[in-house]
Structure 1
């Protein structure tokens, strides 16, 4: 059988990556709800199967799944609305505290530089007018964004219903792409993808819950205003690897600055976030999600940033499960196994420059690296289904 030269195959891979990125950029508003619906459909499969085992009609079982999802999302929206309502109610106090902080900052700048208070006021007014004109130009875009969010939320339950209803048809479509001798491997990949997505998404739900309770509860005991809002905002932003935690810290500090005239609460907020994040990263989250698929930090950061550029906030949230799925597929494919190595965390202790065995795609080498890095191999992951 004639095979393409290696350079031609690598050129085709690079071209494929380019066109894939181009398609994502052009169609991210269409692809984002489909991918989100795909992940949520897999997460709802246990609920669907439970009701099907009790002989519920298929349409009714799917309807109950969607109802559960709507109730959960409704509770989240209600919580945010109530907390933001409390924030709006405190607006006069927030305005007073912000003014005090600005006056203190102005006095400090005057003592350290040659800029007088009048010059600072003129600078702030000039920048404020520019900001207002810029914000006015964004109003049309904001209206468009709100419409896109409504369309996204409207399409999501429809896609979930159709994916659950036509799941057997979709599975048959996947199998027909491969010759019969590869069907066992394809089945293993699909089982593994289901396990990884369910464990990852359920782990994220648990993570959001305990971060909100831990962070919000501790801040509440310390007397920090809007403690629960800070906790839930940080919990959701923490879903975006690395970048989200930084944004959560910034928002927590800004909310505390606006709600307090002292600096001690800021130290308490940052210290509490650091402790909760340490517990989350080193103790709680590894035990919840486990070591079914490990993505290295470099691939995670680059993946989040690239996904953000290609598909915005939705892409950043979806980046990690998509990378995990791609790694599963690449690990099982001889043609793309090197990409699985690039995404994975099976870091050799020795350099391939001096150890020729590490330059090969040999399964024995892969299994040895997985044992050294505490990553469960695909065969073990399949048994978790």
Structure 2
């Protein structure tokens, strides 16, 4: 490959990216559960090794961590559903609050425009059919997504079990893919990828816990209704880099507006979310994750958007660890090192345009009587 011209190598790289992207788009229903299972199996590896070290049978050493994970997820689902049930129980009051907000909004629109309340109602009724049709299409799409989710969750424990059971075969395949003189770099990349994935996913689990406690607990003490539900929704949406925090703020405000007719709870929720987010981004999360691999914000956002378009929520969630692992691999290969630089956040001390290799050479002055 190194003997090929540079333009040919770059063309092969770009073609490989296109083929990889096409493969992810076409087979995302198959590939995403495998990637998710791979990451989770790496997180469960320390528990598996601990049980094996204490003479547990291999099958039991694999099944017990999976059961522990299932119990934790079941507890999260139970907590979330209990908070949603409290919100559902308040629907009559929520309906009255929404009517109050709509009346206030209607009066404000009438005061700044020539549209009367009757004209506003007629406009809403005229667009109701379109809204219902759109909601029906989204509901049918949600039903398909829900069925895919059940398949996803059903296959996940099977994949995790098989990956832990056959991990030595997978490792042997990876080493056989490379020349023996590259095995030291391969081993280093595997170890670093394992550390990055474990620290990232375990850190996210810890982040969800303390974000729910900090945000939900603070709002609960202040007296905001459905404080714990706002806390848990924001904590999970915050797992999606950059985009999730914005969605969490919007949903928190909507829940607060529907639960109260006053303005101060909305301002309080936004202020508390801002404070908790500042604490999370600048103090807590950097200490918990402590990853040596830094991804620049541009490709973090692009990864989230592309992952969401390719595989929905799971793609958005997995985008960051996938990019981090790719950067580890790129940094250790001469052929793809430039891609590792592109994904990273290590800015050069000065513009590459000022490097000697990029500066335009001065023209050669011809001496009289000398031909060049």
- Structure 2's unaligned 5+ residue stretches are 360-372
TM-score (norm 1): 0.91
1:178-327 equivalence runs, <5 A: 178-327=178-327
- The one-character-per-residue Cα deviations of 1:107-154 (angstroms, maximum 9, x if unpaired) are 000001111101111111222221112222344333222211110000
**Unaligned segments of structure 1, at least 5 residues:** 360-385
Q: Deviations over 1:298-320 (max 9, x none)?
A: 11111111111222211110000
SS of residue matched to 1:295: coil
CA distance in 1, matches of 2:213, 2:156: 28
Tell me which moved more, 305-314 or 293-302: 305-314
DSSP-derived class of the 1:262 partner: coil
The answer for the alignment partner of 1:177 in structure 2 is 177
| Equivalent position of 2:365 in the other structure | none
Distance 2:292 2:58 in 1: 31
Q: Tell me how far 1:358 sits from its aligned partner.
A: 9.9
Instruction: Describe the SS at the equivalent of 2:331.
Output: helix
- The farther-off stretch of 287-296 and 190-199 is 287-296
- Give the deviation of 1:65 after TM superposition: 0.8
Q: Contact 2:196/2:291 (CA < 8 Å) preserved in 1?
A: no
Quick one: structure 1 residues 207 and 64, their matched pair in 2 at CA, closer, same or farther if it must change by over 3 Å? Answer: same
CA separation of 1:339 and 1:358: change in aligned 2, threshold 3 A: farther
Which residue of structure 1 lines up, in the alignment, with residue 10 of structure 2? 10
Q: CA deviation at 1:178?
A: 0.8
Two-structure CA RMSD over aligned residues (Å): 1.4
Range 249-258 or range 292-301, more displaced: 292-301
- Equivalent pairs, count: 359
Task: Find the residue that maps to 2:353 and give its secondary structure.
Answer: coil
TM-score by length of 2: 0.94
State the SS of the aligned residue for 1:353: helix
Query: In structure 2, how many angstroms separate the alpha carbons of the residues matched to 1:2 and 1:324?
Result: 26
For 1:40 and 1:2, how far apart are their aligned partners in 2?
36
SS at match of 2:293: coil
Deviations 1:315-368 (A, max 9, x none): 110000000000000000100000000110111221111134899xxxxxxxxx
Q: 1:78 to 1:2 in 2, by over 3 A?
A: closer
Deviation for aligned residue 1:2: 7.1
Cα distance in structure 2, aligned partners of 1:264 and 1:358: 58
Q: Could you say which residue in structure 1 is the equivalent of 2:109?
A: 109
Q: 2:63 matched to 1:63? A: yes
Using a 3 Å threshold, how does the CA distance of structure 1 residues 138 and 243 change in structure 2: closer, same or farther? closer
Q: Which residue of 2 aligns with 1:167?
A: 167
